[in-house]
Amino acid sequence: MSIPTDTPGSQVCKAGSGQFIAFWQGQIVHKLDGGLRYFETEQAAWNFLARRDLVSDSMVGARPTRRTGRDKPTLRD
């Protein structure tokens, strides 16, 4: 299976642990608890980034998220 590396602004790097970390649009990918999101394989990281790009593209022109008085919307918004 080929690795989809055509995601603009995205990058996958091997961490010291042997796992991989991903950058999406220049920002490192985090878990919901704020920790780094590690991927077991480079392929898994690129697949995640490709899916993230699909979600982002589908939201272009979508209705804005309801604000909750915080700087950023939460997952419940």
Residue 22 lies in a domain: yes
Predicted local distance difference test score (pLDDT) of residue 3 = 54
Residue 72 lies in a domain: no
Residue 2 lies in a domain: no
Could you list the residue range(s) of the whole structural domain that residue 28 is in? Answer: 11-58
Residue 69 lies in a domain: no
Rg for the chain, CA atoms, rounded = 14
Q: CA-to-CA distance for 34 and 55, rounded, in angstroms?
A: 21
Residue 18 lies in a domain: yes
State the sign of the Cα–Cα–Cα–Cα dihedral 13, 11, 38, 67. positive
Q: What is the pLDDT of residues 10-60, one digit of tens each?
A: 899 999 999 999 998 888 999 989 999 999 999 999 999 888 877 766 555
30-48 residues labelled b (16+ CB within 10 A) or e (exposed):
eeeeeeeebbeebeebbbb
Residue 15 lies in a domain: yes
Residue 32 lies in a domain: yes
How many domains is the chain partitioned into structurally? 1
